[in-house]
Amino acid sequence: MHAKTDSDGTSLDTSWLPRSPRRPVYYVQSPSNHDVEKMSYGSSPTVSPPHLYYHCSPIHHSRESSTSRFSNSLKMPRSLSAWKHIRIDDGDGDDHDGDDDDEKDDGGGASKVRLYFIGLLFFVLLFTVFCLILWGASKGYKPEVSVKSMVFENFYIQAGNDQTGVPTDMLSLNSTVKIHYRNPATFFAVHVTSTPLEIHYFQLKLASGQMKKFSQPRKSRRTVVTVVHSSQVPLYGGMPPLADAREHANKVAVPLNLTFSLRSRAYILGRLVKSKFYNRVRCTVTLTGKKLGKPHNLTKACVYL
C-alpha cells in the first residue's frame, strides 16, 4: 500500500482505488482523395476495429466523432461540387440541344412557308394567264346583229295643245322593227340588253321602244321584234314635210333615222372572267304614206359600229 500526499499535506491511501487499464493510443489518418471519392459515391468507410473498452472511453469517442466530422467535411463539399458540375453540364447540354432543335424547327417551318407561298403565287399566275387566254379568245366571237326590216303600221297628225297649252300639231306613230341576233361563240352564252330604239327626224325624237332583254346560247340565233311607237308628240312646226299630211297622207315621204345600241355580256368562267360586246346601229328609213303596213328592207340601210 502506498500513501499519496496531497499538496495541502493530507495523505491519501490509494490502495482502495481501482486500477484502470492503460488506454490504447489511436492515430487518425486523413483519407486520401481516392477514399473520399469512394465515400462520396456511397461506399462505406472503413471502420476502426471495435475495442473492448470503446464505449467507456470518452477520449476514443471524441476522437472518433472528430474523425467522422472531418471525413464528412472532406467529402461533402467535393460531392456537392461534383453534383453541381454534373447538373450544370447536363443543363447546358439540354439547352444546346433544345436550341439546335429550335433552330432546325424554325428553319424547316420557314422553308415550308416559302414553298407554300411560291406554290400559291405560281397557281395565281397560272390561273391569271388561263383567264387572260379565255378572255382573249372570247373577243374573236363578237355577236352578229342585223336589222332586217321595219314596218310603219300607221301614223296620225292632228291639232292639239302641249302640256303648257301651246297649240301645235301632234303626231302619233306606231311601227315594228325586226332584228336578227346571232351568237357565234362555241364555249359561252351571252346576256343581251339594249338601249331604247328611237326614231328621229334630225334632232326631233318622234318615237321610241324598248327591247326585252334575253340570253342567247352558244352557236345559236334568234329574231327579235320590237315595237317603236309614240302618242301625241308635239311638232311645233318642225316637220314641214308633214304639213299637208292630214289632207294628203299618201303623198307623205319623210326621211327618218333609227338608232339603238346592244350590249352583250358573256360570263366565261362564272363571274371571274367576263367579256362585253357593244353593237351600235344606225339605220336610215323613209316614212312613206303609200307603204303603210308594208315592210321596209333595211339590210343595206344600216351602219354597225
Tell me the CATH architecture of domain 142-304: Sandwich (2.60)
Handedness of CA 130, 132, 134, 137 (dihedral sign): negative
Cell of 279: 353593237
Q: Where are the domains of the chain?
A: 142-304
Averaged pLDDT score across all residues of the chain: 76
Q: Tens digits of per-residue pLDDT, 12-25?
A: 444 444 555 555 55
Task: Say what the pTM is.
Answer: 0.60
**3-state SS string over the chain?**
CCEEECCCCCEEECCCCCCCCCCCCCCCCCCCHHHHHHHHCCCCCCCCCCCCCCCCCHHHHHHHHHHHHHHHHHHHHHHHHHHHHHHHHHHHHHHHHHHHHHHHHHHHHHHHHHHHHHHHHHHHHHHHHHHHHHHHHHCCCCCEEEEEEEEEEEEEEEEEECCCCCEEEEEEEEEEEEEEEEECCCCCCEEEEECCEEEEECCEEEEEECCCCEEECCCEEEEEEEEEEEEEEECCCCCHHHCCCCCCHHHCEEEEEEEEEEEEEEECCCCCCEEEEEEEEEEEEEEEHHHCCCEEECCCCEEEC
299: pLDDT strictly greater than 60: yes
Q: What is the structure's pLDDT at 250? A: 79
Q: Tens digits of per-residue pLDDT, 109-142?
A: 788 888 999 999 999 999 899 889 988 888 899 9
Q: Tens digits of per-residue pLDDT, 44-80?
A: 444 444 444 444 444 444 445 555 554 554 454 444 4
